[in-house]
Amino acid sequence: MAKTNILSYILRAKNRLNTLQVLEEGKKISAQIEKQTSMYKSHASRTLKELKSKGLIKCSNPDDRNFKFYELTAEGRKVLSQANKILKDIKK
């Protein structure tokens, strides 16, 4: 996916953007992401799966069935930085 398309993809859905922003703080389990973004479990699960498939986040312990830790990839950090810059410019 081209850079512009992935950026548009993130900005179109607040759940995607909010999830990336929460993960910017460091590794989190899905329950923490749900709580900090006020998402239902099913929405958080779907959002994590989508972001993972795009290469923006990764699971650092995929074999653990109960407490999977998610974190941003280098690409995820770049995209989030660009998205935050756009949002900052819009709010000016």
The whole-number pLDDT of residue 75 equals 95
| Position 92 in a domain | no
**Residue among 65, 68, 59 at smallest CA distance from 32:** 68
Q: Cβ distance 86 to 53 under 8 Å?
A: no
Share the mean pLDDT of the chain. Answer: 92
Determine the length of the chain. 92
Would residue 51 count as lying in a domain? yes
Task: Give SS3 for 89.
Answer: helix
pLDDT value of residue 77 = 96
Q: Residue 90 has what pLDDT? A: 86
Domain extent for 18: 3-87
- Using CA atoms, how far apart are residues 11 and 5, in angstroms rounded to an integer? 10
pLDDT at 38: 94
Give the total number of structural domains in the chain: 1
Low-confidence spans in the chain with pLDDT less than 50: 1
Instruction: Examine residue 39 and state whether it is found in any structural domain, yes or no.
Output: yes
Q: Are 57 and 23 in contact (CB under 8 A)?
A: yes
Give the pLDDT score at 65.
86
DSSP designation for 65: S
Model's pTM, two decimal places? 0.90
